[in-house]
Amino acid sequence: MRINKFLAEQGVASRRGADEIIAEGRVTINGRIARAGDDVTPTDHVTLDGKTLSHKVKYEYYLLNKPKGCVCTVNDEKTERPRRTVMELLPAGAGRVFPVGRLDYDTEGLIILTNDGELAYRLTAPQSEIPKTYLVKVNGSISPIQLNRLREGVELERGVVTKKCRINVIETDKNYTKLHVTLTEGKNHEIRRMFEVVGKPVEFLKRIKLGELTLSGLDRGECRRLSQEEVFYLKNL
């Protein structure tokens, strides 16, 4: 097993995050500093920051209704005043898990937390094209021309064009418009940037579905374990 996959399965970080940890020289295999691409066997002694990692892993899966005002990271070490993280919203007794993907600081909604690195990779890999649905609110009305531009794909910056997406207006009056937007990709700040292109800055943004998995029964800031059926569903998306 590749070292980054091993670390992901330990709940240390996603594979990408594990690559960064390895590059920082914080991981050893049998006393030698690990390198990207190294393999690990069940008999190898692996440490992170001097602490031994077990080869036995118990997977945990959580669904969180993320509120505004917290970040999707294990530790907020890149700011002078660390902000609240999604980890603080986990129930007592939760194991060592990490958020799958990210929602912006000011974005609410559905986020999965797990130590299952393989599932995390599947849910975030671009080639998976897993649909994610968001509730979007903009100021005033939005025209059919603007909607069609968004559905067909807009250029966020030179050479970067969004894929086609589904957009349905669910509520509108002269003061605001609410929409459901379903994407199958995950560019950085994609929805906010999309709507800025057509001159309709986003006032409110919330992820409400991952595939057919919803936030039903969860208030803002609440978290629960996923059922076996839900885990099976996510693994087969």
Quote the pLDDT of residue 30.
95
Mean of the pLDDT values across residues 122-151?
Answer: 95
List, as own/partner pairs, every contact residues 73-80 make where C-beta atoms lie below 8 angstroms and the sequence separation is at least 24, other chains included. 73/99, 73/102, 74/13, 74/98, 74/99
Structural domain boundaries in the chain: 3-53, 61-127+216-235, 131-210
Question: Are both 3-53 and 61-127+216-235 of the same fold?
Answer: no
**For 227-236, what is each residue's pLDDT tens digit?**
999 999 999 9
pLDDT, tens digit, 9 for 90 and up, residues 66-117:
999 999 988 776 667 788 899 999 988 888 899 998 899 999 999 999 988 8
Phi, psi of 223 (to 5 degrees): -140, 150
Q: Tell me, what's the pLDDT at 49?
A: 92
Mean pLDDT of the chain: 92
CATH level 3 topology of 131-210:
Alpha-Beta Plaits (3.30.70)
Domain 3-53 architecture: Roll (3.10)
Give the pLDDT of residue 232.
95
Grouping H, G, I as helix, E, B as strand and the rest as coil, residue 193 is helix
Residue 222 has pLDDT above 80, yes or no: yes
pLDDT at 196 over 70: yes
DSSP string, 65-128: EEPTT-BSSS---SSSSPPPBGGGGSPTT--S-EEES---TT-EEEEEEES-HHHHHHHH-GGG
Question: b/e string for 173-191 if b means 16 or more Cβ within 10 A?
Answer: eeeebbbebebeeeeeebb
Which pLDDT belongs to residue 126? 85
> Which tens digits make up the pLDDT trace of 17-40?
889 899 999 999 999 999 999 999
CATH number of this structure's domain 61-127+216-235, picked from the four choices 3.30.70.580, 3.30.428.10, 3.90.1150.10, 3.40.50.720? 3.30.70.580
Is 104 annotated in the active site?
yes
Query: What kind and span of H or E run contains 51?
Result: strand 51-53
Per-residue confidence at 187, pLDDT binned at 50, 70, 90?
confident
- Mean per-residue pLDDT, 60-69: 96
* Catalytic position from the list 104, 106, 116, 219: 104
